[in-house]
Each structure stands twice: as structure tokens, then as C-alpha cells.
Amino acid sequence: MPRRTNILASALLVVAGSVVWFLRGGDPRDEVASGEPLPHVSPRDRAGKELPDNPWNALTRDTLPVHDRLEIARSISPTLGDDDIASLISALSHTPRIGGEDDWYLVLNEIMEQMRRHGVGADQYAEALGTIIMDPDRPEVVRDYAIQHLALWIAPADRERFPHETDEETVRSSLAHIASVICDHSLTSTSIPGTALLPLTDITPRLPAAEAAWEDLTPYLDGVISGSATVPSSTRISAIQAVARTAQHRYLPVIRTLAEEESGDPSVRLSSIASLGLFANQEDRQFLETLAGAGGRYSYAARSAFNRLPLE
């Protein structure tokens, strides 16, 4: 299984031994402010090796140790010229040699990260990631990375401090790409729909344009949450948490039913119980209080949800 480094701070709500997905916004302290002076270190110095005139080409050299390539990627800075940027954009489409995939995925994620943090290739970044997201021939992990970085690019934690996409049409097309892979039936058995739901959920409070994406996803979410559409439990859990976190109250009745259903998937039930706390509807107070006091595998989830309810 490929090694993955999730760039979004994805927190796991552990409830009675089961896992419920939550996505926490990126910590602004982990970002690099736009225009902030950065110490320049030569890629040659970082890698400690003699590299070609254009060191960025070494990023895709599969024979170079991954540590060296990561160090080169970490030297990406806002001062790069057009030729350097073209090399980085080209690197995003690299296909590694057989057996070198895991190392390349680490390097690729670092390239995406550093370009996003420093606003490198700002006029091309969203389009390049959108192309990766929509390409069915790209590996699942690569598309996952592109989704997460694109979401943070169009809606960073602090738009006043951090580089971000400024073209509204590009923001809309980026959202369309994310929504498209969520409901793509050919991706049902992959991690991609769940991966895309989580960052879309995270950026929605700070990106009004995201509302249109949720409207487009309504038919898909209706089927996934109700259970009429066949998807992995992890995707269903992500969908339940997503609509709860974005306060889509039209789903509260069916989620309430899932929370009360004793014969259903335990993980789905746990997620539904947790979601009742996010919806914070007083009508669920008695149910949650009773379930919390009953003991058993669902009591902790019920107690946590109960504690989220506003005081009467």
C-alpha cells in the first residue's frame, strides 16, 4: 500500500473503538505567509550533490535518493523564474519507474505543498491540479493529493495572509472538479469520493461559492446517506459527517433514523449519533441522554453528542 501523508489535518473521532471521520482546518501556524521573506538555500546545497543546471529536473530522477529529492522540493521559493516554474509544472505529470512509486508520491506531495504555500505558478497551479484530478489514468493517491491541495489553494485558512486563487472562474471550475469526482460512479470503490468530501466540507465555511457544489451533489448524497446507493462504509460515514458539519438539515431525519437503528452498520450508527451533536437539535436530547446512560459501545458517542447540545 502506498505511503500517504495527508496534508489536511484530518482528525479521527474515536468512539467506542470505531472511527468517525472529521476534517480539521489547516493550522495557520503551519502556513507560510504570502510575501514573507524566506532564506534562500541552493537546491545543490540542500541535496549535497552535483545536480544539472536545472536542479528541478532532479526531482523526477528516480535513481536519486528520496531524501535528496525532498530537500530539493523544500527549496522551492517565491522567487523562481518562468523556466523553473515550467519545470515544476512538468514534474507534476511525471510517471515513476516501477518500484519507485512510493518515493515519488512523497516527493510529488512535497512539490504540491511547497508550490501552494509559496504561490509558485499561481496562474497555472489550479489548472494543473484540476487536470490530475480529472485524469482517470492517474494513480488514486496522486488524485487524492491533488484534491486536498487544490481545496487549500482556492480557500486557505487565512486569505489575507496566504497565497490563494484569485480568479473566480477558476475557483468555480476547481469546485466543479472536486464535486465531479465525488459522484463519479467509476470511483465508487476508491478512496477518492471520501477524500474529496472532507476538504470540500472544510473549506465551505470560508468559501461561499462552495454552496453550488453541494447543490450539485444533492442526488448523490441522498442515495449515499439513505443507503439506497452502494458505497463503502467509509464513504457513507464521510458523507454523513460532511452534511452534519455543513448544517444541511434536510438530512437530519434520515441520520436520526440511522442513529436509532440497532441492526445497522455499527460504524454508520456511530457516525450518525455523533452527527446529532453537530446538528444540535433539542429534539434529540432525550434519545442521546438515554443512550449515553445505557452503557455499551454507543454510550460515549451519545454522551459527546449530548454535550454539544445547547442548554435548555
Ordered DSSP codes for 149-191: HHHHHHS-S-TTTS-----HHHHHHHHHHHHHHHS-GGGTTSS
Helix, coil or strand: residue 14:
strand
Q: Which residues lie closer than 8 Å to 283 by C-beta, 6 or more apart?
A: none
Please name every residue paired with 24 in a beta bridge, in sequence order, or none if there are none.
9
Distance CA 265, CA 188 (A): 18
Amino acid symbol at 256: R
pLDDT of residue 215: 96
pLDDT of residue 312: 67
- Which residues of the chain fall short of a pLDDT of 70? 1-53, 312
Q: Is 282 within 8 Å of 31 (Cβ atoms)? A: no
pLDDT of residue 55: 87
Closest CA to 96 of 128, 61, 129, 70: 61
Q: Which residues lie closer than 8 Å to 137 by C-beta, 6 or more apart?
A: none
Query: Per-residue pLDDT tens for 283-295?
Result: 999 999 999 999 9
pLDDT of residue 54: 78
pLDDT of residue 42: 53
Distance CA 84, CA 140 (A): 27
pTM: 0.82
Q: Is 269 within 8 Å of 259 (Cβ atoms)? A: yes
pLDDT of residue 66: 96
pLDDT of residue 255: 98
Q: Which residues lie closer than 8 Å to 236 by C-beta, 6 or more apart?
A: 224, 225, 227, 265, 268, 271
Q: Kindly state the cell numbers that stand for 290.
A: 438515554
pLDDT of residue 151: 98
Q: How many CB atoms lie within 10 A of CB 81?
A: 7
pLDDT of residue 53: 62
pLDDT of residue 20: 34
Query: Per-residue pLDDT tens for 227-264?
Result: 999 999 999 999 999 999 999 999 999 999 999 999 99
pLDDT of residue 284: 97
pLDDT of residue 107: 98
